[in-house]
């Protein structure tokens, strides 16, 4: 039974917990006189602190450890476990750069917030490599920039984003914001970490303009001359772990974006074509996505469209 109204009011005034008052009413209901009696009792004495047990003597061959901090451990920055003294003498402690701290915070935030999944596919790079081999010298002579794979991937992703707009969307409160523009982030490695400058209105850029912008981003990133504005506002990023030799990875979302495409290294593999086993230059693709926005069907469809565009480059011209 809940306490009687008068008893409840008196308990609030006395600061008593209902669980600490023994009720004498029907079915154990706490009455006002029960509260008066409980308030008149002296508070129980605090138990005496027990002396800390004496630790047993350490064995002679035991290795001493550095003492652990007794203060509460904050969530950020992460605290280390105890370190062997001999190892600590051979360590080097370097302060994290602000860029590395920002990267760490944003990536962890994305993992904590998004319902992140990754789906995979592979792409036969034969057609793209032939296209690049046939026209790279003429392209470089005309536009004074090398014809790389990244520009072609940007074009393929834009084509796929048009068909699967959820991958180019984001969550804002209880709304899904579908973006009818394409600001594509291209990851650039520097000595201080990975940065992702943004190709704004990439769908309005030609292949040569995309390659020129990527080359300029890379040069200025290495010189530390990229501005904050150039790395904000992206809708879909394309990191390329293949330049470092990565065969397969699960890229982490850059919140609040809902998708990210990971490129990987190209290697020859045995595949079946028209009933015959042949060697083809293959690349693994990985799409990580926020399942709150992007369904599995949409994620697979997006990867298939990217694959089709790269394996049949004429789709770029026909926008198919």
The residues annotated with a catalytic role in the active site are 291, 295
CA proximity to 18, closest of 27, 34, 26: 34
Distance CA 77, CA 21 (A): 45
Distance CA 132, CA 69 (A): 58
Q: DSSP strand E in the chain: where? A: 116-124, 169-172, 175-178, 184-186, 188-190, 193-195, 198-199, 236-238, 259-262, 266-273, 276-290
Distance CA 69, CA 81 (A): 10
Q: Which two tokens stand for residue 124?
A: 């036969």
CA proximity to 33, closest of 60, 3, 62: 3
Residue owning tokens 């790279």: 136
Q: Which two tokens stand for residue 88?
A: 């600590």
Partners of 290 in the beta sheet? 116
3-state secondary structure of 65: strand
Distance CA 116, CA 171 (A): 13
Q: Which two tokens stand for residue 225?
A: 């001359």
């Amino acid at each position: 039974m809940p306490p009687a109204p008068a008893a409840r009011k008196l308990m609030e005034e006395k600061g008593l917990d209902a669980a600490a008052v023994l009720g004498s009413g029907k079915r154990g209901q706490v009455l006002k006189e029960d509260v008066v009696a409980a308030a008149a009792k002296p508070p129980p004495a605090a138990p005496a602190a027990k002396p800390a047990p004496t630790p047993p003597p350490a064995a002679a061959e035991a290795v001493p450890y550095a003492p652990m901090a007794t203060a509460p451990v904050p969530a950020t920055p992460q605290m280390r476990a105890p370190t062997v003294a001999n190892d600590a003498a051979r360590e080097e402690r370097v302060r994290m750069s602000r860029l590395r701290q920002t990267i760490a915070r944003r990536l962890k935030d994305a993992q904590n917030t998004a319902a992140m999944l990754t789906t995979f596919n592979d792409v036969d790079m034969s057609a793209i490599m032939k296209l690049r081999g046939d026209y790279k010298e003429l392209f470089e002579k005309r536009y004074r920039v090398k014809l790389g794979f990244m520009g072609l991937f940007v074009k393929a992703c834009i084509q796929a984003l048009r068909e699967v707009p959820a991958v180019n969307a984001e969550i804002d409160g209880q709304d899904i914001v579908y973006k009818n523009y394409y600001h594509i982030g291209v990851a650039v490695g520097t000595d201080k970490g990975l940065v992702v400058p943004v190709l704004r209105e990439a769908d309005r850029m030609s292949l040569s303009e995309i390659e020129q912008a990527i080359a300029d981003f890379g040069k200025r990133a290495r010189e530390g001359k990229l501005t904050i504005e150039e790395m904000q506002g992206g809708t879909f990023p394309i990191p390329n772990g293949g330049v470092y030799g990565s065969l397969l990875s699960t890229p982490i979302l850059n919140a609040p974006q809902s998708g990210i495409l990971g490129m990987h290294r190209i290697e020859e593999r045995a595949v079946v074509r028209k009933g015959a086993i042949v060697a083809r230059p293959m690349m693994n693709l990985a799409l990580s996505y926020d399942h709150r926005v992007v369904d599995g069907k949409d994620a697979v469809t997006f990867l298939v469209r990217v694959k089709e565009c790269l394996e049949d480059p004429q789709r770029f011209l026909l926008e198919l």
